[in-house]
Amino acid sequence: MKLVVIDGQGGGFGKAIIEALRAKGYSGEIVAVGTNALATSAMLKAGANAGATGENAAVVNAAHAQVIAGPLGLVMANSMLGECTPAMAQAIAQSPAMKVLVPAAKCSVQVAGLAPKPLGELIEDAAQKLLILLAANKPASTGTIAE
């Protein structure tokens, strides 16, 4: 199962997700895609197997992923201080991959029905959802989990 973790700015979300998965014993392949080199580097240091940087890397890897993880801003054009381009947001949103997205106030979006939680709890929840999807060892159904 191809897991692609996408992040930008400093790569903190992606790094935390990868570290949480590795700490829980996940040894499968993780591809890190950063909107910039700093984000890609942080995710590689956290334990990703491979990394790529930029808009084209995000577009190509989103098309081939079975699971995508990262911040909620990935599906919003011009989010993440402009690092998430419209082409990236469209490619990620239209990917048939299951998406596990971490809501963050930094994206100027609040998700109704979700109680505010510390980032650590959100990352833990994302890691648990990812482990369940990855353990199934079958193609994930289309959809987004942001709860």
* CATH number of the domain within which 69 lies: 3.40.50
Copy the structure tokens of residue 120.
Answer: 């650590």
Q: What range defines the domain where residue 15 resides?
A: 3-141
DSSP secondary structure letters along 68-123: EEEEGGGGSTTBTTTTB-HHHHHHHHH-SSEEEEE--GGGT---TT-----HHHHH
- Identify the band that residue 147 occupies on the pLDDT scale cut at 50, 70 and 90: very low
What is the per-residue pLDDT for 90? 97
For the ranges 9-13, 22-26, 84-88, 104-108, which has the lowest average pLDDT? 104-108
Secondary element (H or E) of residue 50: strand 50-53
Read off the amino acid at residue 35: T
**Within-domain flag for 147:** no
**Within-domain flag for 30:** yes
Q: How many domains does the chain have?
A: 1
**Within-domain flag for 13:** yes
**Within-domain flag for 52:** yes
In 3D, which of 21, 43, 47, 20 has the Cα closest to residue 32? 43
Residue 139 has pLDDT above 80, yes or no: no
What is the per-residue pLDDT across 63-110, written as a single tens digit (0 to 9) for each?
A: 999 999 999 999 999 998 889 999 999 999 999 999 999 987 666 777
The more confidently predicted of residues 119 and 49 is 49
- Identify the band that residue 111 occupies on the pLDDT scale cut at 50, 70 and 90: confident
**Within-domain flag for 146:** no
Secondary element (H or E) of residue 40: helix 37-45
Indicate the SS3 state at residue 30: strand
Q: How far apart are CA 147 and CA 140, in angstroms?
A: 17
